[in-house]
């Protein structure tokens, strides 16, 4: 079993399904639902359901939302020894609008996530994540929903421990600290995040390849996720566009997180980038077939079944 350490953000997702996004000054009515979410939490849950041994570091508030996250981590069998409860800041919250075609827009209030410190991340690697699994140092998976100092310290400690660092630069930033970029082995932005980093408009696989050429050097592999168009990967001797398996899209919230987790799991298992991207595409596609973040994180057997059935049906 491969080991994945995740820099976890925790957001309670307050989701409105509506006919469209409101215009400025407009009130619309929609259907409401609440789901456990947060990029780091989603990634941790997906990695676990895909078969990894998962440990997380993060921070929740001392409130009902925080308690629900702690219980969910326990139920999934995720090591949460390094998740602290903040006495002052509440658990992160995200307001999500999902449109009929399943696409989403999100506003996230980091709250307790932002209070995570570099020291918390370093201590996590000293006490929890460094423990190797069958001799493997494992994989570190991080996003940018906690604090930047925590993200940098997490990546640095991971590399010191010999782990592979997979960086999902989300939410989008226009510039990544040089140190963080240098620590990443694999960079996995979506189209908007790649665009924010490069100022290159990214809509098509060809655009994504163009953006990758101007992305700052550092990571050995760059993987841009393109939603229904799949993903594009660039690594040494590899230029790949992998379309995803066809699915009925219900809600794309968390699809990118499932993709990142699946990529990290397969790389941790020793797969090459091409194999890992195809596996991740299937995980992301499956996540888009179910409403909500946490409920949509797919299990290993479902991903393998989708891969097998889509290999049998020519597109």
Catalytic residue positions, numbered: 257
Contact 94, 65 (CB under 8 A): no
Contact 48, 78 (CB under 8 A): yes
The residue with its CB nearest to ligand RIB is 37
Contact 79, 131 (CB under 8 A): no
**Segment contacting ligand RIB (CB under 6 A): 69-77, 210-218, 253-261, 302-310?**
253-261
- In the complex, the smallest distance separating the C-beta of residue 18 from ligand RIB, rounded to whole angstroms, is 17
φ, ψ of residue 309 to 5 degrees: the values are -75, -35
Determine, following the binding rule CB under 6 A, whether residue 94 of this chain makes contact with ligand RIB.
yes
Task: Restricting to residues 15-74, name those near ligand RIB by CB under 6 A.
Answer: 37-39, 42
Q: Identify which of residues 15 and 209 has a Cβ nearer to ligand RIB in the complex.
A: 15
- In the complex, the smallest distance separating the C-beta of residue 59 from ligand RIB, rounded to whole angstroms, is 15
Q: Identify which of residues 230 and 292 has a Cβ nearer to ligand RIB in the complex.
A: 292
Determine, following the binding rule CB under 6 A, whether residue 106 of this chain makes contact with ligand RIB.
yes
Determine, following the binding rule CB under 6 A, whether residue 2 of this chain makes contact with ligand RIB.
no
- In the complex, the smallest distance separating the C-beta of residue 108 from ligand RIB, rounded to whole angstroms, is 5
Of positions 5, 8, 11, 65, contacts ligand RIB by CB under 6 A:
11
Q: Identify which of residues 281 and 310 has a Cβ nearer to ligand RIB in the complex.
A: 281
Q: 171: cis peptide before it, omega within 30°?
A: yes
- In the complex, the smallest distance separating the C-beta of residue 229 from ligand RIB, rounded to whole angstroms, is 18
* Binding flags for ligand RIB, 146-165, as an x/- string (CB under 6 A): --------------------
- In the complex, the smallest distance separating the C-beta of residue 226 from ligand RIB, rounded to whole angstroms, is 15
Of positions 288, 293, 297, 303, contacts ligand RIB by CB under 6 A:
293
Contact 50, 264 (CB under 8 A): no
Count of residues binding ligand RIB (CB under 6 A)?
15
- In the complex, the smallest distance separating the C-beta of residue 47 from ligand RIB, rounded to whole angstroms, is 14
**Segment contacting ligand RIB (CB under 6 A): 193-201, 206-214, 218-226, 249-257?**
249-257
Q: Identify which of residues 111 and 278 has a Cβ nearer to ligand RIB in the complex.
A: 111
Q: Identify which of residues 37 and 298 has a Cβ nearer to ligand RIB in the complex.
A: 37
Q: What is the residue-wise DSSP string for the chain?
A: --EEEEE---EEEEEEE-SSPPPTT-----EEEEEEE-HHHHHHHHHHHTT-EEEEEEEEESSHHHHHHHHHHHHHT-EEEEEEEESSSPPEEEEEEE-TTS-EEEEEE-GGGGG--HHHHHHHIIIIITS-BTTB--EEEE-SSS-HHHHHHHHHHHHHTT-EEEE---S--S---HHHHHH-SEE--BHHHHHHHH-----SHHHHHHHHHHSPS--SEEEEE-GGG-EEEEETTEEEEEPPPP---S--TTHHHHHHHHHHHHHHTT--HHHHHHHHHHHHHHHTTSSSSGGGPPPHHHHHHHHHHHHHS--
Determine, following the binding rule CB under 6 A, whether residue 251 of this chain makes contact with ligand RIB.
no
Give the interface with ligand RIB as residue ranges (CB under 6 A): 11, 13, 37-39, 42, 94, 106, 108, 145, 253-254, 256-257, 293
């Amino acid at each position: 079993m491969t080991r994945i350490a995740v820099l976890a953000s925790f957001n309670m997702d307050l989701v409105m399904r509506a006919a469209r996004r409101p215009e400025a000054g407009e009130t619309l009515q929609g259907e409401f639902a609440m789901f456990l979410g947060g990029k780091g939490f989603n990634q941790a849950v997906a990695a676990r359901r895909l078969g990894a041994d998962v440990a997380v570091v993060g921070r929740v508030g001392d409130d009902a939302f925080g308690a629900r996250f702690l219980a969910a981590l326990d139920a999934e069998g995720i090591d949460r020894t390094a998740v602290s409860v903040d006495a002052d800041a509440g658990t992160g919250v995200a307001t999500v609008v999902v449109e009929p075609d399943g696409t989403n827009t999100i506003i996230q209030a980091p709250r307790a996530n932002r209070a995570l410190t570099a020291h918390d991340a370093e201590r996590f690697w000293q006490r929890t994540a460094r423990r190797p699994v069958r001799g493997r140092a494992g994989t570190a998976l991080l996003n940018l929903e906690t604090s930047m100092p925590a993200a940098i310290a997490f990546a640095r400690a991971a590399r010191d421990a010999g782990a592979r660092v997979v960086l999902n630069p989300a939410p989008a930033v226009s510039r990544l600290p040089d140190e963080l970029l240098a620590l990443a082995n694999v960079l996995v932005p979506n189209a908007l995040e790649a665009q924010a980093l490069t100022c290159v408009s990214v809509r098509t696989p060809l655009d994504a390849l163009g953006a990758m050429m101007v992305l700052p050097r550092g990571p050995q592999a760059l993987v841009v996720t393109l939603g229904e168009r799949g993903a594009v990967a660039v690594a040494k001797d590899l230029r790949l566009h992998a379309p995803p398996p066809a699915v009925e899209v219900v809600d794309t919230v968390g699809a990118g997180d499932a993709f990142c987790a699946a990529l990290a799991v397969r790389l941790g298992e020793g797969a090459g980038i091409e194999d890992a991207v195809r596996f991740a595409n299937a995980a992301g596609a499956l996540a888009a077939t179910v409403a909500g973040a946490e409920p949509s994180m797919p299990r290993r057997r479902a991903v393998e079944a989708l891969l097998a059935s889509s290999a049998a049906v020519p597109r």
